[in-house]
Amino acid sequence: MNPGLFSALLSGSLAAAAPLAVAALGGLLTEAAGSLSVALEGSMLVGAFAAAAAAKVSGSFLVGIVASLAAGMSLSLLVGLAAGLLRADVFVAGLAANLLAPGLVSLLSGALYGTKGVLPAEALLTSSHDAAALSRLPLVGQALFGQETMVYMLAVSAFLIAVLFSRTVFGLRLRAAGEGNDAARAAGLSPGPYRLAAHLLAGAASALAGAALASHVGAFVPGMSAGRGWIALVAVYLGGRRPGGVVLACLGFGLLIGISNAAQGVAAAPAELLQAAPYLATAIALILWKRAAIRKEEAG
């Protein structure tokens, strides 16, 4: 492969994997707490819209990010409260949130900005870094040291979530809550607050991922989450429900997205087919994972 093409593919793959990893690690927190939220997709979408809307009004990147986090946490709060206080099925509550998100965004966009289409927000754009000699390293220099600022923010966020999950008392108690109500109470914990906290953190993580999508193009585009929240959920299981494994799964999905994007410029296949390839691969991976899990249960 041409070194330039390889470098571009690697750079695009890492940029695609970063938001997936943050959202997936947020989903991992809810899974560990025993209340898996499927609302990552909805939180990602409202986060992207809130970031663009707030940045457009304020002209501030930071205000856009704060608004994004608030929007994602608000949507996840509804899911957490429905599952905790109302005893609703958490899957149904999360699915309802995913269905609510695009309609809510469309309504707000039309009412506030007079458009249900693209909402430009140039303040969200972040420049690419150029770490002098490092970004000129063969093959990997541009991919590792020439990304947009938002990609590095996502990388730091993913690291912090992984540390929170694996290396803190909160993470330990979160996992204890996931062992069941009786086990948690036997350990002196009330599982409800930890599950709600997991939902809030997952909403914030997914919203930040959505803000990154908007930041990349400097605008909110309807449907721009494009199923990435569902891919992030699959990564939780393919990664063995461990932070390191989840990140590796997201890197794999990022590579598929990067290949799909690169192929659109050179392959003769229809663009729609190439765009669908990562999602088809996700479905196949989920089926294979489920079959392997069933065989393991039967063997055990």
Read off the pLDDT of residues 148-172 as tens digits, 9 standing for 90 and up. 889 999 999 999 999 999 999 999 9
Q: What are phi and psi of 257, to 5 degrees?
A: -65, -40
pLDDT in tens, 67-97: 999 999 999 999 999 998 888 999 999 999 9
Sequence spans of domains, the chain:
3-299
Q: How far apart are CA 92 and CA 100, in angstroms?
A: 12
Give me the CATH code for the 3-299 domain, please: 1.10.3470
Sign of CA dihedral 207, 98, 236, 20: negative
Nearest to 203, CA basis, from 63, 29, 59, 84: 29
Is the per-residue pLDDT at 244 higher than 80?
yes
pLDDT of residue 185: 83
The residue whose two tokens read 């590792």 is 144
